[in-house]
Amino acid sequence: MVEIESVTFEHHRLDDNWGIGEETPRISWSFTGNAKDWIQSTYELDIKYAGPEAKPAETFRVDSSESVLVPWPAKPLRSREPAQVRVRALGKDGSETQWTNWRYVEVGLLTREDWKAQVVAAPQTLTPSNSLQPALFRKSFELKKPIQSARLHITSYGIYEAQINGIKVGDHVLAPGWTAYKYRLNYQTFDATDLVKQGENVIGAEIGEGWYCGRLGFNGGWRCLYGDKISLLAQLEVTYEDGERVLVGTDKTWRTAVGPITSSEIYDGETYDASLEIDGWSTSKFKDDEWATVEELDFPKAKLIAPEGPPVRQTEVVKAKEVIKTPSGKYVVDFGQNLVGWLRVKVSGLKGHTITFTHTEVLENGEAATRPLRSCKAQDNLILSGKPIVWSPKFTFHGFRYVQVDNWPSGERALANLEAIVIHTDMQQTGFFECSEPMVNKLHENIRWGMRGNFVSIPTDCPQRDERLGWTGDIQIFSPTANFLYNTSGMLSGWLKDLAVEQIHDLNGVVSVVVPNILPKEYTMPQAAWSDAAVMTPWDLYTAFGDPEVLRTQYESMKIWLEKGVARQENGLWDPAGHQLGDWLDPAAPPSEPGNGKTDPHLVANAYLVHVTHLMVKICKVLGLEEAARYESQATKLTKLFQDEYTTSNGRLAPDSMTALALAIGFDLFADEKQLGYAAERLDKIVRASKFKIATGFVGTPLILPVLTRVGKTQLAYRMLLQKRCPSWLYPITMGATTMWERWDSMLPNGSINPGEMTSFNHYALGSVGSWLHSTVGGISPSTPGWNSILFAPIPGGTITSAKTSFLSPYGKVECSWETEKEGSGEGGKKKFKMKATVPPNTTAEVKLPGNEEVQKVGSGVYEFESEYVDDEEWPPKAHYAPFSQHEDMDD
């Protein structure tokens, strides 16, 4: 039996449908059930409308197998207009699903004219570090009749928390999030019906400087990049039961003051003086006669945007594991997991007593290691009032596992009274993986934690030091892994629009290395692999979610990047005089020179240029654009130029590093099968000569294992995966890592921290290996964009004898589990392979079993397969010039 599991609108999470920005939201539904070969033939949509000008309900019946992002069939919704939708699907076999429950959706404010409120600013109050002290805003108002509904539309210049009648509005944190504020400013819509009442009411907001006014960037950073005033734009719209609507918006009648948060900065942390608390400041009992009047500002020039992705929320609470007394006598609390968020503290003590919390990712020589934070203090201060308090910061966040607690009141138990609150953009987890090797499971867990910590409003490089920027190269290489682990579609689509608007309006076609761009012009030179995120990340989103709109929306950005942004020499390749980051953090690069690796940076740049030009051909074909032929001609020409510049007739590369060969094979840069075969054997020798240690940086890492698999050397890939000596994926786990590191050796084997300036212990880039774990070890990947057709093709290897992988696709749950059993004794014996595959309704699949070249095609359902195979490669593979012996540790 088949049923519809969920109904969603556009790329919004199931319950994040308040105040969306799409007037004709596309509708999707996924399925449950194990029916064999079930394909939808027809769907029916019922739509009900609400509001004072509600249209009559409508029913639509469409003969189509489409169930993902189907067009809105009715007239466009207007600003503020709600609707309810339910769906029923009919199968080609004549079966019907039940009608789904009604799913609610409501449009936000679609036009500038919908906004009647004004932006209001607080007076500047500078802290000793020249940051802006957070400000309070409030407005009293009366509601004279019984209330039907209330909606709050709100944004800020800074980070806000709103309250109505003393109660926090919504569950968002760090709102409105970080966007290219000059052009795009998110606002949020909340249902405030249960917070307002007939009679006297108060709406309030507390705002910190956040990304808008705060210090951002490295080498000391820059302040007030977008503006120098903490400001609020809020519009509360209340509908009475008789249909009358009243509006309470920010204007010059609002009042402002400062409160107990005396300073709050993204990098340096927050100071809270509990003795300065203003009881009931957002309730009608409080009198604000001594508060200052606000300053009215011009309405934002930026476009006010309803977010496409979910907000940042508190998603998990982690209890403290241990209190450590350091050699110097300090007390450090260990939470057992490197995470991103803040503390929740329960404490009491004498008035004026100050507790300091310093957040670090690791210990060095038994002490909290602050050097990797650079100029970031990551320090919160709580000044007690003499009363018990439960406290967390509001307008900062930290990346940490350890917290050094200084001046904790005597008699209090720190371990019991400290909790870590995990925050991140609240995307739905969609990908799951486990196998028989515990360390590989830990690797996958670390990849997921690294992603959570670096998806905080934007995809960042790291969450702890004086940076936390949207580095384009990092997300470009990690997006295939990210798109499997979580539903990133809404968040990354919005971020790509920020990329495009700054590229086109500010940077003359160049894609910045960080988005939003906060860097001076000397940093915004065109960079292969980083700037190529303009083409590659939209393509990855299309592959994962099957939505051609992301390609259509980003096409102008892609085109301008290739035609205007790339710094070319006369023949069309990259200008050799320009600086390129290359294979960043190649393990062979000196700690002080992370870009000085083995691979010629311009080989990297030109390999990427050929690749993205080929991608443009595919993108144009998806969009039905005639420009496909022109890009195809360019790609052919660039490929030949690359071959002339970097390859010999036999297929040797100059240079032939691990990264260079991975790029050339992975991007199809060789002229023929002969060259490819030579390159594959050359890569084999290099991998063995490295004793299976990794020799790639950021750009080579996502390709090395897929390329080995592609050329039939999957056992070499497994050998690299399972290597424990540095540099390798498992080495950090032997050192206690709970997230992915920026460097392969962020911590050295002796426990000291890498002396390089860039030494983060929470970077997701090297976690790009997750994509290979999902597709090759786990065995599932989309064979058509969006998972309408699925490929099951696990390749067992190494010491892994079983794996289970699942993915919540747009159509339903895809699952693959397998195990191997060796038959007989001795080397080279046959192995029995057993696999169970779940194909969701309304999809098809291709199944390729190990030892069998035949591809089986199946429809929906649950299937079990068995096959026999013989490993075509030895295990464990032998190192080149250093033969493996049974008496030698496998990691040597």
For the segment 50-72, what is each residue's pLDDT rounded down to a tens digit?
876 778 999 999 999 999 999 99
Identify the CA nearest to 514 among candidates 531, 492, 537, 501: 531
pLDDT attached to residue 823: 67
Q: Which residue has the tokens 């964009």?
A: 785
3-state secondary structure of 484: helix
Residue bearing the bigger pLDDT, 652 or 710 = 710
Phi, psi at residue 869, to the nearest 5°? -150, 160
Q: Indicate the pairing of strand 82-91 with strand 363-364.
A: unpaired
Q: Which secondary structure element, helix H or strand E, spans residue 496, and what is its range?
A: helix 489-505
Return left, alpha or beta for 353; rule: phi > 0 is left, psi -120 to 50 is alpha, else beta: beta
Mean pLDDT (the chain, rounded): 95
Return left, alpha or beta for 166; rule: phi > 0 is left, psi -120 to 50 is alpha, else beta: left
Distance between CA atoms of residues 245 and 151, nearest Å: 11
- CATH number for the domain whose boundaries are 314-373+386-425: 2.60.120.260
Q: Which secondary structure element, helix H or strand E, spans residue 543, and what is its range?
A: helix 533-545
Contact (Cβ atoms closer than 8 angstroms) between residue 396 and residue 415: no
pLDDT attached to residue 852: 87
Distance between CA atoms of residues 137 and 143, nearest Å: 20
For the segment 670-704, what is each residue's pLDDT rounded down to a tens digit?
999 999 999 999 999 999 999 999 999 999 999 99
Identify the CA nearest to 232 among candidates 279, 296, 316: 296
Residue 418 amino acid letter? L
- Within its chain, how far is the Cα of 171 from the centroid? 20
DSSP 8-class letter at 600? -
**431-777 carries CATH number 2.40.170.20:** no
Give yes or no for residue 885 having a pLDDT over 50.
Answer: no
Residue bearing the bigger pLDDT, 74 or 55 = 74
Contact (Cβ atoms closer than 8 angstroms) between residue 31 and residue 841: yes
Identify the CA nearest to 523 among candidates 531, 513, 515: 513
Q: How would you label 130-169 residue by residue, b for 16+ Cβ within 10 Å and e otherwise?
A: ebbbbbbbbbbbebeeebebbbbbbbbbbbbbbbbbbeeb
Contact (Cβ atoms closer than 8 angstroms) between residue 689 and residue 756: no
pLDDT attached to residue 883: 40
* Cα torsion angle, 718, 724, 730, 731, sign: negative
Residue 875 — pLDDT band, cuts 50, 70, 90? confident
For the segment 196-233, what is each residue's pLDDT rounded down to a tens digit?
999 999 999 999 999 999 999 999 999 999 999 999 99
HEC sequence for 618-683: HHHHHHCCCCHHHHHHHHHHHHHHHHHHHECCCCCECCCCHHHHHHHHHCCCCCCHHHHHHHHHHH
Distance between CA atoms of residues 621 and 630, nearest Å: 12
pLDDT attached to residue 126: 96
Listing DSSP states for 413-474 in one string gives -HHHHEEEEEEEE-PPB-EEEEES-HHHHHHHHHHHHHHHHHEESEE-S-SSSS----BHHH
* pTM for this prediction: 0.97
pLDDT attached to residue 827: 53
Return left, alpha or beta for 492; rule: phi > 0 is left, psi -120 to 50 is alpha, else beta: alpha
3-state secondary structure of 759: coil
Asked if residue 876 has a cis previous peptide bond (ω within 30° of 0), the answer is yes
**115-305 carries CATH number 2.60.120.260:** yes
Distance between CA atoms of residues 172 and 182, nearest Å: 23
Q: What is the mean pLDDT of residues 432-439?
A: 98
Q: What is the mean pLDDT of residues 463-485?
A: 98
pLDDT attached to residue 655: 82
Q: Which residue has the tokens 């099957």?
A: 546
Structure tokens belonging to residue 686: 């290099």
Task: Quickly name the fold that domain 785-822+831-869 has.
Answer: Maltose phosphorylase, domain 3 (2.60.420)
For the segment 103-113, what is each residue's pLDDT rounded down to a tens digit?
999 999 999 99
Residue 437 amino acid letter? E
Listing DSSP states for 243-285 in one string gives S-EEEEE--TT-EEEE-SEEEEETTTEEEEEGGG--TTTTSTT
Q: Indicate the pairing of strand 303-305 with strand 184-186.
A: parallel
For the segment 235-261, what is each residue's pLDDT rounded down to a tens digit?
999 999 999 999 999 999 999 999 999
Q: Indicate the pairing of strand 261-265 with strand 255-258.
A: unpaired
Task: Quickly name the fold that domain 3-106 has.
Answer: Immunoglobulin-like (2.60.40)
Which residues have a Cβ under 8 Å from the Cβ of 162 and sit 6 or more positions away? Answer: 152, 154, 168, 169, 170, 190, 203, 204, 205, 234
Distance between CA atoms of residues 83 and 103, nearest Å: 8
Equal fold, 314-373+386-425 vs 785-822+831-869: no
pLDDT attached to residue 652: 87
* Active site residues per annotation: 467, 742
Contact (Cβ atoms closer than 8 angstroms) between residue 164 and residue 192: yes
Give yes or no for residue 752 having a pLDDT over 80.
Answer: yes
HEC sequence for 786-843: HHCEEEECCCCECCECEEEEEEECCCCEEEEEEEEEECCCCCCCCEEEEEEEEECCCC
Give yes or no for residue 410 having a pLDDT over 90.
Answer: no
Q: Domain ranges in the chain?
A: 3-106, 115-305, 314-373+386-425, 431-777, 785-822+831-869
Contact (Cβ atoms closer than 8 angstroms) between residue 665 and residue 651: no
pLDDT attached to residue 860: 98
List the beta bridge partners of residue 270: 264
For the segment 780-810, what is each residue's pLDDT rounded down to a tens digit?
999 999 999 999 999 999 999 999 999 999 9
Residue 272 — pLDDT band, cuts 50, 70, 90? very high
Distance between CA atoms of residues 476 and 469, nearest Å: 14
Residue 429 amino acid letter? Q
pLDDT attached to residue 872: 61
Give yes or no for residue 432 having a pLDDT over 90.
Answer: yes
For the segment 511-564, what is each residue's pLDDT rounded down to a tens digit?
999 999 999 988 889 999 999 999 999 999 999 999 999 999 999 999 999 999
